[in-house]
Structure 1
C-alpha cells in the first residue's frame, strides 16, 4: 500500500474530520492535549472528547495512529495497548487510525476489542455511553502504490503461485532456503515474501524456521490476485457426445495423459459434490498447438460460443504439480483446485468453498510432511 507521507498528527487530523462527518454536525469531536504521562505517552497520539447533541454525557477516546499496520503489528502492539488500558479502573475507548487497514488487520483489531478507522472508509467503532455504533466499509484492497513508495512483493505471478502451493501442500517445518530451492525462486525474493506473509499472520516462524502456516488464508490471499480465465488463455471446444464421453476417452489414453489435468466444476465435484453441470475444464501445456492436439485425441471441435469444454493453457507448470488420478483421469491437486475455483467465474467460487470445507475436515489426506522433491 502507499506509504503515508505525513506525520501521525496529520493522520489524526484527517481521522477527526472523518469522525465529525460520520457523527454529524450536532456532535462535537474535540481534540485535547497529549493523553498523559509515563508509559502511555508513547502509545497514544491524541485524546478526543466526544459530546452528543444533548451535551449530557461525553466520552473520552484515546487515538493510536499508525502510518501502516499489519495483522502481526495489530496482534502485538494493540494487544499491549489493551493490556495497559485494562490495568486502569475505567479504561477509556481506544480508536486505531491508519491510512488503510486490510480485512485481516481489521479482524485482528476486532478480536482485541479495539475500534478502528482508516482513511478509505473502513470503520468499526462502538461506544456504550453515549450510544455510538459506526460500521462502514472502505477499500478491501490496498490503494495503488505511489511511484515513491517502497516496493513490495505480492502473491501475484507464477513465482508466488509456486510458493503458495509449497506452503499449503506441505506441513512445516522448513526454511526459506528450502522453499527457494524447491520452487526455483531467488532466496532474497522468497525471504521478502515470507517476511510479508509473517506480517499478515499467514505464516509463523521460530527463528528462521517456518513452524506454522495458515493454509486456507494463503489460498484465499493467492486467489485475490488470480483470475483463472484471464491468467490462462483458453480455447473453447464442443463435445458431440458430451463431457462424460470426453473423460472416458481421456481415461482410455492411459499413460499418454501427461500435460493435461482436470480443474473446475468436474474436479470440485470429485471432492465435494454440491452442484451439477458446468464446463469441463482442462489445463494443458502452454504451447500454441496443445489445445488442438488434445481436441484431436478426444474427439472435440472448436467452438466460437457455447463451449462445454475449455482447454486452459497453463500459466505455469505448477498447476500440474501433485496431480492425482480420479477414476483414471488426472485432476489438479486440491490446493490448485481451490485457487482456480475462488478465481473462477459463475458458481466456481461457491464450489471452491465446498472443497475448502472438505479439505479442512481431513487435512491428513492431502497435506503431507515436506521432504526434498515433494513439489514435483
Structure 2
C-alpha cells in the first residue's frame, strides 16, 4: 500500500475535484462541511450535497477518507459505519476515498455496499436519486513511493515467491520463525511481509500464530508481481520428432536426473485437461549453457522462430521444490504451475484458472499439514 503524505482534508479536496470532473460542469458538488469546520474524525470526514443540472433533487453523501485503506480496515471500519447508517430512516450514501485501493480492497468495499474513489481513477459509486452510476478503472498496482517515503515489502522477488509457496503449499498453524527458517528469508523481513498480508486478509493470525491462509488469493497476488517469460530468461528449441518424443526421452533418463521440471500447458493439462497444443516448457538450472546441454540430451535444435520447446532458466530454486512425478517426468508443484500460468502468455492464464478450480475442489493431494511427516523432499 502507498502512504498519503497529506491530511484527510487534502484527500477529501482531491476527491471532490475528481467527482466534479466525473460528473461534469453542470452538476453541483458542494461540501456542507469544510476543512475549517471538520472536527476530529468520528465516522466520516465530509458531507457532500450533489445536485444534477436543472433539478432541485439532490443527494447527500458521507465521505470517509483513509490515507491507507486495506481490506482489513474495510472489513473492520466500513461494516461498522454501514451498520450505524442503516439504523437511520433515510441513510445517506457512503463514499470511501483513498490515494489508491487494491483489487482486494475494492472487493471488500463493494461487498459492504460502500462506494469508493481513489486518486488513480478506481471508482465504483452509485445512488438511485438522482440516478448516478460511475465505474472506472485506475491503477492496478500501487503507485511508486517517493524516495523519502516508507518502504513496504511486496510480493515481488524470489524471497516473497518462496514465502507465498510455503503459505500455499502447507496448511497452518505455523509461525514467522518457521517460515523464515524454511525459506531462508530474514525473520524481520518475513514479519513485515506477514503484517501486510494480514492487512490484505490473505492470512489470519491468532497472536503470533498463522491459523488461516487464503492460498488462492496469495497465488493470484504473487502472479501480479511476476512474469514467467520476463523473470526467467529462455531459449527456444525445436523437436524434429515432436514434443511427445521429448517426453519419452526424458522419461528414459530416469528419476536420478534433477534440475529440470515441466511447467506451462503440458503440466496444466496433466491436472485439468481442457485444451491441446502449446509449447512444452521446462524449467532448468540457471547456468548459461544449461539449455544447450539439455537440448543435446533430448535431441533438440535451437530455434529463433517458432519453437515448440522452451527452456526457462529458473529465477530461483523454489521452482524445483515439491516437484511431482507424472508418468516418470518431473512436473513443478501445482502452486508453482498456477503462478506460472497466471503470469504467462497466450492461453496460459485460462489454463491456470482450470487448474485452480481443480485444486480448490480437492486440496488433499497437494496441500499438506505443517510440519510435513514425509521426507525432506516435501519441504521448502
Could you tell me the TM-score, scaled by structure 1's length? Answer: 0.96
The answer for the alignment partner of 1:170 in structure 2 is: 170
Q: Which residues in structure 2 correspond to 1:293-312 (within 5 Å)? A: 293-312=293-312
Say yes or no: does 1:68 pair with 2:63: no
Question: Partner residue of 1:275?
Answer: 275
Cα RMSD (Å) of the superposition? 1.7
Measured against aligned partners, the alpha-carbon deviations of 1:310-346 in whole angstroms (never above 9, x if no partner) come to: 1111111110111001011010000000111111111
Matched, 1:375 2:379: yes
What's the counterpart of residue 205 of structure 1? 205
| Cross-structure match for 1:7 | 7
CA distance in structure 2 between the aligned counterparts of 1:304 and 1:285, rounded to whole angstroms: 21
Once residues 120 and 189 of structure 1 are traced to their aligned partners in structure 2, the CA distance between those partners, rounded to angstroms, is 29
Conserved 8 A contact 2:255-2:328: no
Give distance in 1, aligned partners of 2:130 and 2:296: 72
Deviation per CA, 1:250-274: give whole Å up to 9, x if none.
0011133211111111101101111
Matched with 1:221 is 221
Tell me how far 1:108 sits from its aligned partner.
0.5
CA positional deviation for 1:240: 1.1
CA contact (8 A) 1:286 1:314 kept: yes
1:236-261, CA deviations, whole angstroms, 9 ceiling, x for partnerless residues?
Answer: 11111111000000001113321111
In the alignment, the residues of structure 2 paired with residue 224 and residue 343 of structure 1 have an alpha-carbon distance, to the nearest angstrom, of 7
Q: Map residues 135-214 of structure 1 onto 2, 5 A cutoff.
A: 135-214=135-214
Q: Kindly state the Cα deviation for residue 143 of structure 1 after the two structures are TM-superposed.
A: 0.9
- Cα distance, 1:40 vs. partner? 9.7
Q: Could you say if the C-alpha distance between residues 147 and 41 of structure 1 is closer, same or farther in structure 2, counting changes exceeding 3 Å?
A: closer
Q: Secondary structure at the match of 2:48?
A: strand
For residues 323 and 221 of structure 1, the distance between their equivalents in structure 2, rounded to whole angstroms, comes to 22
Shift of 1:289: 2.0
After the TM superposition, which residues 220-369 of structure 1 pair with which residues of structure 2 at under 5 Å, given as runs? 220-369=220-369
* Gap runs ≥5 in structure 2: none
> What secondary structure is seen at the aligned counterpart in 2 of 1:257?
coil
Report the equivalent of 1:94: 94
Separation in 1 of the partners of 2:41 and 2:102?
26
List, as ranges, runs of 4+ consecutive aligned residues in structure 1 with deviation greater than 3 Å: none
**Which range moved further: 296-305 or 325-334?**
296-305
Q: Is the 8 A contact 1:2 1:149 kept in 2?
A: no
- Aligned residue pairs total 374
Partner SS, residue 94 of structure 1: strand
Whether contact under 8 Å (1:2, 1:146) holds in the other structure is: no
- Which residue matches 2:108? 108
Cα distance, 1:54 vs. partner? 2.7
